[in-house]
Structure 1
Amino acid sequence: MAEHRWLIIHLEAPLMAFGGVTIDAIGVIRDFPATSMLTGLFANALGWRRTEWEKHQCLQDRLVFAARRDRENPAGVLTDVQNAQLKNDDKGWTTWGQPEGRAGGLNTFSAPHRRRRDYHMDAAVTIALRLEPEHESPNIEALAEALDRPARPLFIGRKPCLPSCRLNGGFVTAPTAYAALKCIPCKGAARALWPLGEGPQEGAEVHRIIDLPDIRNWRTGLHGGVRKVVEGTVTAERPGP
């Protein structure tokens, strides 16, 4: 089996949000980051704008990654219930340094906006990621450099989720995403997710194989795709501290 170069990404923060399928104003979370979330993270680091949907779509289609929960939520899940009365001239903070306004008449904002958002508290997740094809632009080295010198401030899932450590964890060489995660130390067997074909598909390490709806259509801005992934456990070749 051919060897590949994998970028290791450490996601750790007081709050993180790996968004699932949102229904109405309820923003649920999953245990692992979505393909679309990682695409948005890199696009933000590279300085792309949302209108550049072709770049986003191409990058998303190239991502191959596995994720491992190195620290579960010791404090559980935080649920934030938001109630905001917005006026037509209110402005909000953005990651590109300019306040964002809203358009519409006065009557448009007569009712309060109500939302519920869940967050992982004090969790830690390690990702092993490569690009397929490997030599198109941006390459994996460009992604690593963008994480260290992002064009805009980075957040993990939602704007309040600021990283508490360096995201770029360097590179490893391994034949599969599962094998790449095994190169990174951790304590005991940790829950993990990897694409079908990028690790074991049966045995004690495998819990289930599912269709995961985490693919975004960047032209329309809607989620509308699934991929087959394996949920199971990974035990690192070198134990963590």
Structure 2
Amino acid sequence: MPRHLLMRLRAPLVAFGGETIDNYGVIRDFPALSMVTGLIANALGYDRGDFVSHDRLQARLVLGTRLDASGARLVDFQTAQLGDRDEAWTTRGAPETRRGGEDSYKSPHLRHREYHAGLDALVAIRLEGADEKPTLEDIASALDRPKRPLFIGRKPCLPTTRLFVDMIDADDVLDALQRAPARDATDAANFRFQLPEGEGALRHAQWQDICDERNWKSGVHGGWRRVLEGGGSRSPGRSL
């Protein structure tokens, strides 16, 4: 059976980002493929400009998620009066400044940011080309000893538990997620899943087309990926 890595995404605030429109940063129910790619790349110490390594890592990832607790949605309204000499911290090592002419500093900087409060997600990943670097073992080691600080979606979302959970041999992503223990039978009955096509089937689920793959050179998301979202026990028969 193929080997899978289990990763726990848990923090007081989590942001599984969706499409940002103007100053509104919305969230999705499940982590995007690009978000998990970026988190792992950050742990491995990839340079932000190493587009080839990011694209290859994203292409190799087979990713599924189990929501152990969905949490509640919170909207944070952010306002700050910034001057032309004010700088913000960034993960790329270069300070961020506000763009625009003199008039851009006369009004406050406004943002609306959605977050998940109290969310607890278990992620199972498998790498196509298992012997290619980085391996799952490399990723597990990097998650425990990351090259840079890790966050779950946005900079304030610092994990409150160890990200790496375990390695597990399983038939597919759903099998890996279902083999991971639950706190009790009630929890297991309420789990929600998101699975890539061909990685398991559930009795109460629907197909969704999502756009969560990033072109790391342009910074733009594109294309569509088919996933299964829902809950319940495994559907009998062959995976769709």
Q: TM-score, normalised by structure 1?
A: 0.89
C-alpha RMSD of the superposition: 1.8
Secondary structure (helix, strand or coil) at the match of 1:178 reads: helix
Alignment partner of 1:188 is 2:210: no
Aligned residues: 228
The aligned residue for residue 35 of structure 1 is 33
2:238 match: none
Distance 1:18 1:195 in 2: 17
Report the residue type matching 2:97 in the other structure. Answer: R
Q: Out of 66, 69, 73, which is 2:67 matched to?
A: 69
Task: Give the AA of the match of 1:192.
Answer: F
Contact 1:91 1:99 in 2 (8 A): no
Where does residue 228 of structure 2 map in the other structure?
230
Q: Identify the residue that residue 237 of structure 2 maps to in structure 1.
A: none
Within 5 Å, which residues of 2 pair with 1:48-67? 48-67=46-65
Secondary structure of 1:151's aligned partner: coil
Preserved contact between residue 89 and residue 96 of structure 2 (Cα < 8 Å):
no
1:88 Cα shift? 2.5
Tell me, yes or no, if structure 1 residue 100 matches structure 2 residue 95.
yes
Name the SS for the 1:28 alignment partner. Answer: strand
Contact 2:90–2:96 (CA under 8 A) maintained in structure 1:
no
Answer yes or no: is the 8 Å Cα contact 2:82–2:98 preserved in 1: no
- Cα 1:18/1:213, change in 2 over 3 Å: same
Q: Identify the residue that residue 239 of structure 1 maps to in structure 2.
A: none
Q: 1:149 aligns with which of 120, 145, 148?
A: 145
Q: Deviations over 1:157-196 (max 9, x none)?
A: 0000010100000100011000110110122220010001
Q: Return 191-200 or 106-115, whichever deviates more.
A: 106-115
Q: State the partner residue of 1:199.
A: 200
Stretches of structure 1 lacking an aligned partner (at least 5 in a row): 237-241
Cα offset, 1:126, TM superposition = 0.3
Provide the rounded CA distance (Å) in 1 between the counterparts of 2:39 and 2:131: 20
C-alpha distance 226-184 of structure 1, shift in aligned 2 (>3 A): same
Structure 2: runs of 5 or more not aligned: 235-240
Q: Is the 8 A contact 2:81 2:105 kept in 1?
A: yes
Q: How big is the shift at 1:133?
A: 1.6
Contact conserved, 2:61 with 2:126, CA < 8 A, in 1?
Answer: yes
8 A contact 1:188–1:235 mirrored in 2: no
Structure 1 residue 164 corresponds to structure 2 residue 160: yes
The structural deviation recorded for 1:84 is: 2.1
* Residue deviations 1:32-87 (CA, integer Å, cap 9, x gap): 100000011011111122211111111111110110110121xx211101122222
Q: Deviations over 1:195-240 (max 9, x none)?
A: 010001xx62x4200111111111100111220000122559xxxx
